[in-house]
Amino acid sequence: MSLDIAKLRAETPGCAHVLHLNAAGSALPSQRTLDATLGHLKLEAEIGGYEAADLRRDTLDGFYPSVARLIGAEAGEIAFIENATRAWDMAFYSLDFKPGDRILTCVSEYSSNYISYLQVAKKTGAEIVVVPDDRHGQIDLGALERAIDKRTKLVSISHVPTQGGLVQPAEAVGKITNDAGVLYLLDACQSVGQLPVDVRKIGCDFLSMTGRKYLRGPRGTGFLYAKARTTSHIEPVFLDNHAARWTDDNGYTVVGDAKRFENWERYFAGVIGLKVAADQANELGIDAIWARLRELADGLRTRLATLKGITLTDLGQVRGAIVTFAVAGADHNALKLALRAQAINVSVSTQFSSRLDLKGRGLRDVLRASVHVYNTEAELDRFVEALAKAYSAA
């Protein structure tokens, strides 16, 4: 199935204003998602928030099967959470770590997650084990298998790190964790919506996701997948009267499905907007999206490789839609601002986001250009030309 790029661009208002190469930060939403989100906000203003939710109950409830279809899950395994970090937190902090428990992660892990490992290790006496990379710069599967022992409580990695095009071998990691009977938490905030993600094939027990990146949903939205078969016994670290029922004066009953990880108050317009974004991704077909993104990203890498002074920094056997590079002698933040002045959006990834990886490779920071389906080859040409002029003038 091929994508109608002209139609996609016409249905994306931002394409008329910017050359947006920052989908890994926050992608441009479609008009359909914008209309659905704003429409519900308008309805709340006209008839009241509670009343609007009641009127749109079927659409709100439809969020769960729409997202479940996208990742091969069941609707009851999905919880709406306000962002990927909180979704990840709800899974991680709900685990009962004890002294000596081991948390296995990867070199490219994201800073927010690693800070949580450090906090839990400090409080509980758990141990953090960083599994080394293989020669491709992705998690070494043999080393992971050897590192798992009876003290291993959790394997937790980012599927696609924020600082590069690397796609971790998540399915192979899942086979190792499943064979060992160890819980597996996958941070998928950069992968869902970009590439095929099937939680049954991957074998993860938890998966966290944001709405604003490759799903092109509203900011302030996300979700958590919790595999029913392996996580139904896990009680969330936080409960309210949506996640549990006050069943007697001195007792409560936790909700049976993944909604126990939610809280009662939420961004209802965002739920509807994210449902619409997920529906659009399902309609377009994730295989077609993935093929287009790889074509664009590979084309951008080829173009950048022709420029003097630029070093591509993406790792991995499989590389996705995030393209990162270093410009010799240049201030990457200054280049980002120079490009933004020309309505070209890129971002900068720093050691703040992924200390072990970038510091280990001697990289202070890298420029990040992340493509999406609405980008064109002509835009890539324009970007590379503008970049070359910007750093030659600096």
- pLDDT, one tens digit per residue, over 236-283 is 999 999 999 999 999 999 999 999 999 999 999 999 999 999 999 999
Let me know whether 212 and 99 are in one domain: yes
Let me know whether 77 and 52 are in one domain: yes
Let me know whether 58 and 197 are in one domain: yes
Let me know whether 244 and 289 are in one domain: no
pTM, two decimal places:
0.97
What mean pLDDT, rounded, does the chain reach?
97
The per-residue b/e assignment along 307-338, b for 16 or more CB within 10 angstroms, e otherwise, is: eeebebbbbbeebbbbbbbbbeebebeebbeb
Let me know whether 201 and 304 are in one domain: no
Q: Give residue 374's pLDDT.
A: 98
Mean pLDDT of 29-56: 98
Mean pLDDT of 287-309: 97
Out of 256, 283, 310, pick the residue that ends a domain: 283
Q: What is the CATH number of the domain that holds 113?
A: 3.40.640.10
| Residue at token pair 């902090």 | 93
Best CA proximity match to 162, nearest among 106, 92, 87, 103 = 106
Let me know whether 190 and 61 are in one domain: yes
Let me know whether 228 and 317 are in one domain: no
Which residues constitute the domain of residue 353?
5-28+285-393
Q: Give residue 168's pLDDT.
A: 98
Let me know whether 90 and 229 are in one domain: yes
Let me know whether 148 and 253 are in one domain: yes
Say if residue 224's pLDDT is above 80. yes
Those residues with Cβ within 8 angstroms of residue 350's Cβ, 6 or more apart along the chain or in another chain: 358, 364, 365
What CA–CA distances, in Å, run from 353 to 162, 188, 337, 349?
7, 16, 20, 7
Let me know whether 266 and 294 are in one domain: no
Mean pLDDT of 343-349: 98
Out of 283, 309, 329, pick the residue that ends a domain: 283
Q: What is the CATH number of the domain that holds 299?
A: 3.90.1150.10
Q: Count Cα neighbours of 165 within 13 Å in the Cβ-side half-sphere.
A: 28
Let me know whether 310 and 261 are in one domain: no
What is the number of structural domains in the chain?
Answer: 2
- Is residue 70 within 8 Å of 278, Cβ to Cβ? yes
pLDDT digits (tens, 9 = 90+) for 171-192: 999 999 999 999 999 999 999 9
Q: Give residue 1's pLDDT.
A: 64
DSSP SS3 for 325:
strand
pLDDT digits (tens, 9 = 90+) for 309-318: 999 999 999 9
Let me know whether 208 and 338 are in one domain: no
Out of 232, 265, 283, pick the residue that ends a domain: 283
Residue-by-residue DSSP string for 34-103: HHHHHHHHHHHHHH-HHHHHHHTHHHHHTHHHHHHHHHT--GGGEEEESSHHHHHHHHHTTS---TT-EE
